[in-house]
Amino acid sequence: SFKPRIFSGIQPSGGLTLGNYLGALRRFAGFQGTGPETIYCVVDLHAITVWQDPAELSRRTREIAAAYMASGVDPEQSILFNQSQVAAHAELAWLFNCVARLGWMNRMTQFKDKAGKNSENSSLGLYAYPSLMAADILAYRATAVPVGDDQKQHVELTRDIAAKFNHDYGVEFFPQPTPLIEGTATRVMSLRDGSKKMSKSDPSDASRINLTDDADTITAKIRKARTDAEPLPGSAEGLKDRPEAKNLLNIYSALTGESIDEILGKFEGQGFGTFKPALAEIAVDVLAPITSKMSQFMADPAEIDRILGKGATRAAEIAQPVVEEAKGIMGM
Ligand code: ADP
Ligand code: NA
């Protein structure tokens, strides 16, 4: 049996969105002090699978660290660090490149979404991304991974890699980590297109709420969010085939903790002209303190660097021996 450990990561590939916050970030602090060790990472090696402006990458790396802390991750209680500062991630990823099968990678929907029609021109790193993610998790022999729904397939692949390594070498060395995907905001959708997830890498800024947006911007984006013209139904059943409406209700539910039926009980028969301002007010109330704490942390970049440096030392103390042992198992 494996020591319970929680691992999760966020890419510094753009400003954080309400989707990142509700699906992942805001859940992280809650695992602190509950038993398992908590390890949270800024995954810059994942971000560079598509070209990043170097100065922006450094700034965003600090911004993600600030967001973790602003949402309650305490660098004393958790290990908070930046991926590229711990060499074990890249080293274990190579070992896993030799364990994972091409056929497994070919099934990954995120690669297909991100590479689009021009996959021949994608980086090799974008293709191998899930193998690096498996290394992130398994370098700590983590047992649980809180993520949004879009990462479920990658955590399942991590389980397959762990199982194949154990099987190929006749060991019980790596655990099979469980994806922790919970709540009504496991997949927050774009405000412009109910069939696409809200993403920091979407070229349309109107498609998402950024954690750095001010109150007026958040209110305007919600007011302009695409919806149908029907009034709100009396229960969740009536949201079937209304993806945009459903998305806004899911966001409201995740922000308040009320069930969809409870919310619809209050808004039944009303139009979005009434619902959207109510949602905007709640979103602003929840996000404003996070935004303000983020900018307080960002005012002292040297302190963020110090915290990340200390976190990297603690992370390497766990991860490097795991990689050494994995190499030993393989005969190296
Ligand atoms: P992005 O997909 O925005 O580039 P990341 O890949 O860095 O962000 O994901 C960081 C975390 O946020 C992951 O746990 C991911 O599952 C979660 N996440 C990303 N987008 C959403 C979304 N639209 N709804 C819910 N969770 C999300
Ligand atoms: Na993602």
Catalytic residues: 114, 197, 200
Q: Supply the CATH number for residue 318's domain.
A: 3.40.50.620
**194, part of any domain:** no
Same domain, 17 and 117: yes
| The pLDDT of residue 4 | 97
Same domain, 38 and 161: yes
| The pLDDT of residue 118 | 83
- Provide the residue range defining the domain that includes 88: 5-180+300-330
Please tell me if the CB atom of residue 13 comes closer than 6 angstroms to any atom of ligand 1: yes
**186, part of any domain:** no
Instruction: Write out the two tokens for 3.
Output: 């020591």
Q: Considering every ligand atom, which ligand is closest to the CA of 47?
A: 1
ipTM of the prediction greater than 0.95, yes or no: yes
Same domain, 142 and 267: no
Same domain, 268 and 305: no
C-alpha atoms less than 13 angstroms from C-alpha of 239 in its C-beta half-sphere:
20
Instruction: Write out the two tokens for 241.
Output: 């085939």
Domains in the chain: how many in total?
A: 2
**78, part of any domain:** yes
Please tell me if the CB atom of residue 16 comes closer than 6 angstroms to any atom of ligand 1: no
Best residue among 20, 113, 251 to mutate for probing ligand 1's pocket (most ligand atoms within 8 Å of CB) is: 20
Q: Which residues of the chain fall short of a pLDDT of 70?
A: none
**80, part of any domain:** yes
Q: How many Cβ atoms from other residues are within 10 Å of residue 299's Cβ?
A: 10
Same domain, 211 and 63: no
Whose CA is closest to atom 14 on ligand 1?
147
Q: Supply the CATH number for residue 272's domain.
A: 1.10.240.10
Distance 244 CA to ligand 2 centre (A): 20
Distance 198 CA to ligand 1 centre (A): 8
- Distance of alpha carbon 145 from the chain centroid: 10
pLDDT tens per residue across span 18-42: 999 999 999 999 999 999 999 999 9
With a CB cutoff of 8 Å and minimum separation 6, the contacts of 278 are 252, 267
Ligand 1 atom at shortest distance from the alpha carbon of 187? 24
With a CB cutoff of 8 Å and minimum separation 6, the contacts of 211 are 15, 16, 17, 18, 20, 21, 67, 287, 290, 291, 294
Same domain, 227 and 309: no
For ion ligand 2, residues whose CB falls within 5 Å: 150
Same domain, 151 and 256: no
Same domain, 74 and 168: yes
Please tell me if the CB atom of residue 147 comes closer than 6 angstroms to any atom of ligand 1: yes
| Distance in angstroms between the alpha carbons of the first and the last residue of the chain | 25
Please tell me if the CB atom of residue 213 comes closer than 6 angstroms to any atom of ligand 1: no
Same domain, 123 and 160: yes
**272, part of any domain:** yes
| Surface-to-core class of residue 193, CB atoms within 10 Å of its CB (0-12 exposed, 13-18 middle, 19+ buried) | middle
The whole-angstrom separation of Cα 134 and Cα 93 is 7
Please tell me if the CB atom of residue 188 comes closer than 6 angstroms to any atom of ligand 1: yes
Please tell me if the CB atom of residue 311 comes closer than 6 angstroms to any atom of ligand 1: no
Distance 235 CA to ligand 2 centre (A): 30
Distance 136 CA to ligand 2 centre (A): 15
| The pLDDT of residue 48 | 98
Distance 43 CA to ligand 1 centre (A): 12
Whose CA is closest to atom 9 on ligand 1?
10
| The pLDDT of residue 253 | 97
Ligand 1 atom at shortest distance from the alpha carbon of 13? 4
| The pLDDT of residue 198 | 97
The whole-angstrom separation of Cα 127 and Cα 125 is 5
- Phi-psi group of 2: left, alpha or beta (phi > 0 → left; psi -120 to 50 → alpha; rest → beta): beta
**200, part of any domain:** no
Same domain, 139 and 267: no
pLDDT tens per residue across span 268-323: 999 999 999 999 999 999 999 999 999 999 999 999 999 999 999 999 999 999 99
Q: Burial code of 276-285, b = ≥16 C-beta within 10 A, e = fewer?
A: beebbebbbe
**191, part of any domain:** no
**253, part of any domain:** yes
